[in-house]
Structure 1
Amino acid sequence: MAEPALLEAAGLRLSLPDYSRKQPFGAAPTVDILHGIDLTLAPGDTLGIVGESGSGKTSLGRTLVRLYKPTAGSLLFDGQDITGLPEERLRPLRARFQMIFQDPQSSLNPRHRVADIVARPLRLHGRAATAAEARKQVDALLERVALRPVHGERYPHELSGGERQRVGIARAIALQPRLVVADEIVSGLDVSSQAQILALLRELRRDLGLALLFISHDLSVVRTVCDRVMVMLNGRAVEQGDCASIFAAPKHPYTRRLLNAIPLPDVDPDWVARTAEKELGETLTMNVKDSVALVTGANRGVGEAFVQALLNRGAAKVYAGMRSTVGYEAPDGRVQPVELDVTDHAAVAKAAAECGDVTLLVNNAGVNHNRPISADAAQRNARDEMAVNYFGTMEMCRQFGPVLGANGGGAIVNMLSILARVNLPMIGTYCASKAATLSLTQGVRAELAAQGTLVVAVMPAAINTRMGDMNPPPLEEPADVANAALDAVEAGEEDIYPGVVADGVSQGLAADPKGVEKQFAEYLPG
């Protein structure tokens, strides 16, 4: 006897208002989105929904969990007709079917800490009588998705894309649902993070008996994860069946075109599985003692402080990079001066070849004009800042990434600024270059994770140096910033905000980003 369907849709149709054609009077005209969709999903089954952009995949997923009300047809969940149920009767059922959204950044409240976000469904559905009980469940859920309880104290913006997606998964499984709809949840992640999230979903499906509706444009991912697949075109299901049959011998012309248009490599059966064992508790760290470091901008300010902090922690050798070594006196026999202009690609390549024993790279060289974007000299200043702060850092990472990989992974420290986190139009050229470098740092972090290289973004507020003396107090001491960065390397922290000002701004950005922008705008030079 066949197992009863957990989810069953018959003749499902959806029409939504088209506000782009709204008339001056009366309701907006509607546009048909879904056209007679039929599907069934058994308990523990996995169905992939594929199709090009605009095919109706996401609209179908939202309709199946009643975020949209169907225009026609029937929708049954666990034998109960939920097609037209009002919200007050749907609410208790929502604990049994959940959705994970494509963009966790927009679906997680930026003003709430992760622990509060995950605890919210527990409180709404009466699953935790006290705050302590809720936190205990939250910690268990975070560990279940390969995060640590300390992640519960962070805000969404302080997490990587993969970590934010894990928070979304933890929130979705908090109420022990029977069905989860996952909408393009790995599309914005690097390949390594994709594999880890897919491994996690497979594990949760097995352990919790979840039925999974997996929406994706990536046919390789669907073929790897799903038992069955439905192909959608213009709001219609043109073909569905088991994955092996559909991918081997597609019957509909659109399915054949879709498969031909997107090359499908042979499935590596270990691709997802081989990263699963790395998920829980793996943190890239590095012991600074006995390391071989290269510090750019090492003859002044924070760079000078980095050199001394490295020596104090027992570094075996420190290459002190600077544009000119004339007049430089090394503070210790372990310090080797290196002439290095990070904007000169040939010089960077030469340094990478000559300093082949480097295990820790500190990208500290920077230019700070900090001019309003509308200033007369803005374009010239912006070019200078981008050349050093962005392209210089990029070239250093590009040339020294293979060096670090050959030496066991090591670490990269990129010196940025808390201004990298403030919206660009309000601050000026320096902020723009640092914001671009923050995005670069995140990309380098994803690329080099596979070789075991830790990449740390250091975002202090104003520092007590010649470049920072134009800023209002309080100013952070260079030694404090350098030591905080090296602490992060040894602890495996990826983004840090040294000092009370930077930490306060980081929290302020989570709570009131526009207010922070206005405060910073007051300090823009004329």
Structure 2
Amino acid sequence: MTLPLVTARGIELSLARPATGFAPAPPPLKVLRGIDFHVHRGETVGLVGESGSGKTTLGRCLLRLIEPDAGRITFGGRDITHLPAAELRPLRARMQMIFQDPLSSLNPRKTVRALLMTPLQLHQPGRASEARCKALMAEVGLPAALLDRYPHQLSGGQRQRVGIARALAVEPDFVVADEIVSGLDVSTQAQVLRLLKSLAERLGLSMVFISHDLSVIRHICDRVVVMNAGEVVEEGPCDAVFAAPRDGYTRRLIAAIPLPEPDPGWLDRDEPEKEEGERGMKIEGCTAFVSGANRGVGAAFVEALAARGAAKIYAAARDPARLPAPPARVEVVPVRLDVTDPAQVAAAAEAAGDVTLLINNAGINRQNRIGGDRAAAEAEMATNYFGLIEMARAFAPALRANGGGMINMLSILARVTLPMMGSLCASKAAAYAATQGLRAELAGDGVQVLAVLPGAIDTEMSRDFPPPKMPPAEVANAALDALEAGAWEVYPGEMAEGLRQGLAADPIAVQKDLMKYL
């Protein structure tokens, strides 16, 4: 029988706990308790358990990022349990980790090119080249144009693909993937999982896949190991464990998380060919019109469109003099526009008759409660709802004639109501309903309409919102990714996606929680 590539026998680890006040320090916390574990060559093992069960700690021990207190770890038949750092270094190229949060694990001061070059220069200096970087990008489904971007300029899915490319750059034998899709939008998760599974099969990788999501474990892994309180309570082939779990904890874990049964091969199936008009819009070569382009997400859209190869961008603002310096690589036409002025909207639509993508980004927030100042509420409705309607009405003929799409920048507030911001939420909800109507009306003409519903964004408009706040560039790129994927809606960021899932499960409970938000 072939020996496993990675084995762990009797692994134990305790972590010291700090003292509080004048009390003595509590005893060390037992994190791993006599763990036995192995991974064969070409095998994907799922490691599952609730938070605090020790999954990530075990994964780091297997890579010797953490040295255990007791036990033995072997890699390729060699004992690496207490191997000095100098002797471990040559092995690092053969064992890699894909981290849960690429935004914190990717150096924000390095471009994607530099991030990919670093492991190559350390472990394979002869292969550190531009061609190798482009090949890695192609392998994970990213265009080479992104090599000059920084992590914050990428969407969450793009960042995770860069993390995968960095891990695979040195052609490892063993990879630990730690909760790599937990922070991604649902629309992006399947793409990343499908990519990782195909790469593992094609490259013959041995992999430990750590996840809370049992449906993902079931469909991507060969075996599953269930952990509870630092111990392995059950392991076996995925089909056997899920069909007839032996341990009570495993049964409770499976019962607590609904598993989709109707389509067990969802990750293996090629994406179906879509009918003409259902495909996502291609950004490269498009002519885009961006309202509210002088700040925040609007300015980020201009940069993102330029980076993706847009042919021309109309950048609109109430005062064009306040527009940021345009990207040098694309034609940018400044436009004076107040979306509440029908005459200005009509003039802008006539001037931009070649437009193929309309991005409705203009919006205001008056921090007004539902029974507050009427003038403030009317201003929000005039811009956020009627302004969107006026833009859609004016630009629809060009979009119908030229083909293309429309992105309506809304907010998760379109589906919930926050105290002290009732009139803003009402205007966003009206705009959301209008977007659904526009989608139905324009679908027959092949015009794609996308609703973007992020949480708080790090802009002046959201200055009074508590964190977390998403970078504008991340929201813009997530929206463009969704448009190219043919999506109808996208909820960028963990907060918005979490609220979307909560609203699907129990909207009343979500609203009660949000009543205490501000």
With normalisation by structure 1, the TM-score equals 0.65
Counterpart-to-counterpart distance in 1, 2:430 and 2:219: 40
Partner of 1:46: 44
Judging changes above 3 Å, is the alpha-carbon distance between structure 1 residues 80 and 28 closer, same or farther for their aligned structure 2 residues? farther
Decide whether aligned partners of structure 1 residues 126 and 277 sit closer, same or farther in structure 2, where only a CA change above 3 A counts: farther
Tell me how far 1:408 sits from its aligned partner: 3.3
Structure 1 residue 275 displacement after superposition? 5.5
2:486 alignment counterpart: 451
Q: Residues 222-241 of structure 1: matches in 2 within 5 Å? A: 222-241=217-236
Deviations along 1:213-271, one digit per CA (max 9) or x if unpaired, are 00000000000100000000001000000001000000000000011111111162452
Q: Secondary structure at the match of 2:32?
A: strand
Give the C-alpha shift of residue 194 in structure 1: 1.2
Q: Structure 1 190/117 Cα, relative in aligned 2: closer, same or farther at 3 Å? A: same
Where do residues 484-499 of structure 1 align in structure 2 (5 Å cutoff)? none
Shift of 1:190: 2.1
Select between 429-438 and 199-208 the one with higher mean Cα deviation: 429-438
Aligned residues of 2:98 and 2:180 also touching (Cα < 8 A): yes
Q: Distance in 2 between matches of 1:286 and 1:340?
A: 33
Does the residue aligned with 2:246 lie in a helix, a strand or coil? coil
- Give 2:15's aligned residue: 16
Distance 2:148 2:226 in 1: 41
Question: Could you tell me which of 220, 228, 233 is aligned with 2:215?
Answer: 220
The match for 1:192 is 187
Q: Distance in 1 between matches of 2:449 and 2:61?
A: 46
Shift of 1:46: 0.7
How far residue 294 of structure 1 moved from its aligned partner, in angstroms, is 11
C-alpha distance in structure 1 between counterparts of 2:421 and 2:222, whole Å: 52
User: How do 1:79-158 residues align onto structure 2 when only pairs under 5 Å count?
Assistant: 79-128=77-126, 133-158=128-153
In 2 relative to 1, CA 266–404 (structure 1 residues): closer, same or farther, beyond 3 Å? farther
The residue type equivalent to 1:195 in the other structure is: A
Cα distance in 1 between the residues matched to 2:181 and 2:58: 18
Deviation of the 1:409 alpha carbon: 4.8
1:164 to 153, 159, 162: 159
Q: 1:136 to 1:443 in 2, by over 3 A?
A: closer
Quote the residue 1:410 is aligned against.
Answer: 448
Deviation at 1:128, TM superposition (A): 3.3
- Number of aligned residue pairs: 414
Rounded to whole Å, the distance in 2 between the matches of 1:33 and 1:299 is: 56
Q: Which moved more, 1:344-353 or 1:70-79?
A: 344-353
Change (3 A) 1:394 1:71: farther
SS across alignment from 1:11: strand
Displacement after TM superposition at 1:196 (Å): 1.1
Q: Which residue number in structure 2 is paired with residue 4 of structure 1? A: 3
Change (3 A) 1:94 1:283: farther
Partner in structure 2 of residue 256 of structure 1: 251
Pairwise CA distance, 1:273: 3.6
Q: Kindly provide the amino acid, as one letter, of the partner of residue 254 in structure 2.
A: L
Given that 1:409 and 1:451 are in contact with CA atoms closer than 8 Å, whether structure 2 keeps it comes out as no
After superposition, the C-alpha distances for 1:6-35 in whole angstroms (9 at most, x for unaligned) are: 00111111112223x378899995311001
The alpha-carbon deviation at position 208 of structure 1 amounts to 1.0
Partners in 1 of 2:426 and 2:141 — Cα distance?
37
> What RMSD, in angstroms, separates the aligned Cα atoms of the two structures?
4.9
Q: Counterpart amino acid of 1:451?
A: G
Change (3 A) 1:46 1:409: farther
Name structure 2 gaps, 5 residues minimum. Answer: 274-279, 294-315, 320-335, 339-343, 364-378, 411-417, 493-518
Who is 1:523 aligned against? Answer: none
User: Identity of counterpart residues, as a percentage?
Assistant: 39
Structure 1: stretches of 5+ with no match in the other structure: 324-338, 366-378, 458-526
Greater displacement, 83-92 / 434-443: 434-443
Residue 229 to residue 215, structure 1, CA distance change in 2 (3 Å): same
Matched, 1:34 2:69: no
**In structure 1, the residue corresponding to 2:135 is in which secondary structure?**
helix
Question: After superposition, what is the alpha-carbon deviation per residue over 1:316-347, rounded to whole angstroms, capped at 9, x for unaligned?
Answer: 9999x999xxxxxxxxxxxxxxx994578799
